[in-house]
Chains A and B, each alone.
Chain A
Amino acid sequence: MRPVFQVTTDRDSAPWWERTGRGEFAVQRCDACGRARLPARAFCPACRTERWHWEAAEPEGTVESWIVNHQAFGAGGGEPYVVVMVRPAAVPDCLLHGGWRAAREPVGGERVRGVFTPGAGGLTLVDWEPAGE
């Protein structure tokens, strides 16, 4: 089991976490150049403008990497658990981390789907499972 950590959201991220709480995987879409971005922040890194809107996206991606954690780095983290690094299809120049929801280990490059999971402090986390299994 992964350890339990309560983290602080911020003024950029709070609306994103609100949306995961409703089961929505949202990306920010730049109003000027149309580029999607994650995680949440005010400026588009491509055109440096501040106007954007939230857009619901499919929680889909591919496995870029993963670890199987063994060392108990935090309280409650005694048993091995898997953390994946996912490249979301909606924002392919972003790498997101998440828990792994399958009995087997991931495979490099495999297609995965987001799973909304209750976390500490009322936060809804996005874990990942194999797509189409």
Chain B
Amino acid sequence: MAKRLLDFRDRTAVAGVGYTPFTKDSGVSTLTLACRAVLSALDDAGLGPGDVDGLATHRVGDSAPPTLVGPALGIRDLSWHLDQFGGGSVSHAVVGQAALAVAAGVAETVVCYRAINARSEFRMGGTGRALPASPEVQYQAPYGLFAPPQQYAMYARAHMLKYGTTAEHFGRQAVTQRANAVKNPRALMRAPITLDDYLASRWIAEPFRLLDCCLETDGACALVVTTAERARDLRRPPVLVSAAAWGGGESHLSGGPADPTTTAAAALAPRLYGQAGLGPREVDVAQIYDCFTYSVIVQLEDYGFCPKGEGGPYVASGATALDGELPVNTHGGFLSEGYVHGMNHVAEAVSQLRGDAGDRQVPGAEVALSTAQPGYVLPATSALILRKD
């Protein structure tokens, strides 16, 4: 089904990125974090709040919406805004929708942000917080299953049983990403680890150990999306949005494939690559949603970097290391940089394509893939392909 609504490829660009520090206790509100990151991204682009006519975020009832952040920054006439419900699975959808709004001319300069106190206030790991009010909870929580590490561990084991994926495979990805974080001044976890450290880390929910799990982070990250034309006149080299795609996911309702070892990314990937006019071989660097080590392995397969079932051996071959054929999560990812729910993956992809990633720069990076949570838990996913101008 070929759908073509508007000329989208490379028509919009990320013109700036901004961050707050990543910490375990920000000491401030999510509204404050959001404002700081938005101003930081605008400053990076050489713009100010007066240039903004769109704001977009996603949240799970845990953060400040555009209707609060706009007025707090004196931006009162937003011609477009988006307050998307959802976690990591819609993180890239937010940026994609902002790019669509800009391409359609509804807004000219949109700032996308995610601001969370995911350690000091609303813990993403589910420790001690109230259960979400959604129908599927009644089929899981009474059995003691409700936190993301538990849900993902269940999928990870299914993959191990079906394809022979091992703890060492998971561990290699954790070690690789930590090595990247060592080179990233923004990263929360900068002490190198070995495979033995990984194997010795305590059980969270078997087959997951502590070092399979992402951090819980306080912090915010923001991106300025505008037309490619306008971005070329701004302070930084533009990074073009070549493709944005959305997908479904693994539902608890019968009637779907009920295959816990293949994610919605497998169906999304051809749409994404088709829109960008390239394939996985053209991708120079990838920021792959790493709420857990396993989510990297399964997406390497589903985005076509290796055959189905071979994500583990692919990682063990060194392919995803900084000097490998496909450097993955060059900032350290959610496992080691910090967990800002997806937005910091897009921001790192932008850095790599601008060539300003410092010690962790992938030489000659021209095309980047950045992906959202691949559709487990909340059955939705999204992804972006970005390109050097």
Contacts and interface: CB of A to CB of B under 8 A. Distances in A.
B202 interface: yes
A47 to B, nearest CB: 11
Contacts of B161: 65, 108-109
A119 B143 CA distance: 9
A68 B138 contact: no
B158 A81 contact: no
B154 A85 contact: yes
Given A65-B157, A92-B258, A99 B143 contact: yes
Given A8-B138, A119-B142, A65 B255 contact: no
B158 A85 contact: yes
A93 B255 contact: yes
Contact of B142 (A39, A67, A68, A123): A123
Interface residues of B, number: 42
Contacts of A34: none
Interface string A11-51: 01100000000000000000000011111010011100000
Contact of B158 (A8, A64, A68): A64
Nearest to A100: B143
Given A67-B157, A71-B204, A87-B258, A12 B135 contact: yes
Interface string A58-93: 000000111111110110010011010101000111
B235 interface: no
16 contacts: A2-B143, A5-B142, A12-B135, A39-B136, A39-B139, A46-B255, A65-B155, A65-B158, A67-B145, A73-B125, A74-B146, A93-B256, A97-B139, A98-B143, A99-B143, A127-B143
Interface of B: 125-128, 131, 133, 135-147, 149-150, 153-155, 157-158, 161, 202-208, 252-258, 260
Given A5-B131, A7-B142, 12 more contacts: A5-B146, A7-B137, A8-B133, A39-B254, A45-B256, A67-B154, A73-B147, A93-B255, A94-B253, A97-B145, A120-B142, A125-B142
3 A-B pairs with the lowest CB-CB distances in the bound complex, closest first: A2-B144, A45-B255, A94-B254
